[in-house]
Amino acid sequence: MREAAFPGVGRHDSIAAMEPLSPDEIARYHRHILLPEIGGAGQQRLKAARVLVIGAGGLGAPILQYLAAAGVGTLGIVDDDRVSLSNLQRQVIHDSGTIGELKTESAALAIARLNPHVRLIRFEERFCAETAQRQLSGFDLLIDGSDNFDTRYAAADAAEGAQIALVTGAVGRFDGSLTVLKPYETGEDGTANPRYRDLFPEAPPAGLIPACAEAGIIGALTGVIGTMMAMEAIKLITGAGEPLIGRLLLYDALAARFDTIRYKRRRERQGQAV
């Protein structure tokens, strides 16, 4: 783990809950504060929030940029990859001058330029079941922008175990999806909220879903889904609106169409879901 060495960047445990906004922050976030659904209290909650983002790639780029711009006080970034030329078509937090650099470092530099009030914590390693507990320590929201099912299942299990909300999304060629998971809570009807495995009981067979390096992907799609994931995170932090809990939002870029699928916790019999 590395703490980014930039002005205004520090460790996540240095943030006091509901710390007052400075005059500069009030001016910076004025358009948020004008919104009754956010207001000054919501902006303070954003400042106090500690959000861990898995991946500084296609989805992670807009997630990190918009959460930093929104004033999330502490952002953690988990990624062990380096910037390559082929990334720049969609991973807009990086640029030609950062090719070859660690993505965590490149992203941290971009965030420091965007908003010096944001504190960065960098994990230059992969997120997996073995590292999850350590990486999640001190964070109160997890956002999964990874590109593989192993990481998605690990993120879902870790977030449920830590009892923190998870925003998860995926993209492929011209379509994407996202949802919010809080399986440790119950809905208005008293039933437990669904888990990730209620939506995807098993990972698809290897090779069934090709990686974007094989199938291609339209760059702007990651911006659409990543920005919506950032929006869900802001809603969770501030309490504004209705998060996508129990709902999977689907986006078809070629048809310019959104659809929503509702899903529930699967019933369990003798310790197994059916």
What's the pLDDT tens digit per position in 238-252?
999 999 999 999 999
DSSP 8-state assignment for residue 209? S
pLDDT for 2 equals 52
Identify the bridge partners of residue 54 per DSSP, sorted by sequence position. 78, 144
For residue 22, which amino acid is it? Answer: S
Distances (CA, A) of 256 to 50, 144, 176, 216: 34, 24, 12, 19
What mean pLDDT do residues 105-125 have? Answer: 97
Alpha-carbon span 94 to 104, nearest angstrom: 10
Alpha-carbon span 157 to 223, nearest angstrom: 26
225, 182 contact by CB (below 8 A): no
From the number of C-beta atoms within 10 Å of its C-beta (0-12, 13-18, 19+), residue 101 rates as middle
Q: Model pTM?
A: 0.89
pLDDT for 274 equals 44
Alpha-carbon span 41 to 37, nearest angstrom: 10
Decide: helix, strand or coil at residue 248. strand
pLDDT at 7 over 50: no
pLDDT for 205 equals 73
> pLDDT band at 19, cuts 50/70/90?
confident
Closest by CA position to 140, among listed 35, 15, 254, 38: 15
Long-range pairs for 39-42: beta carbons < 8 A, 24 or more residues apart:
42/237, 42/238, 42/239, 42/240
pLDDT for 144 equals 97
Alpha-carbon span 81 to 100, nearest angstrom: 9
Residue burial 205-226, b: 16+ Cβ < 10 Å; e: rest: eeeeeeebeeeebbeebbbbbb
* Range with lowest mean pLDDT among 107-111, 147-151, 177-181: 147-151
pLDDT for 168 equals 98
> pLDDT band at 211, cuts 50/70/90?
low
Quick one: which H or E segment has residue 149? helix 149-162
Q: What share of the chain is helix, strand, coil (3-state, %, to 5)?
A: 35, 20, 40
8 conformational bin, left if phi > 0, alpha if psi -120 to 50, beta if neither: left
Residue whose pair of structure tokens reads 């078509």 in the numeric block: 89
Q: 48: Cβ–Cβ under 8 A, 6 or more apart, which residues?
A: 15, 16, 17, 18, 19, 73
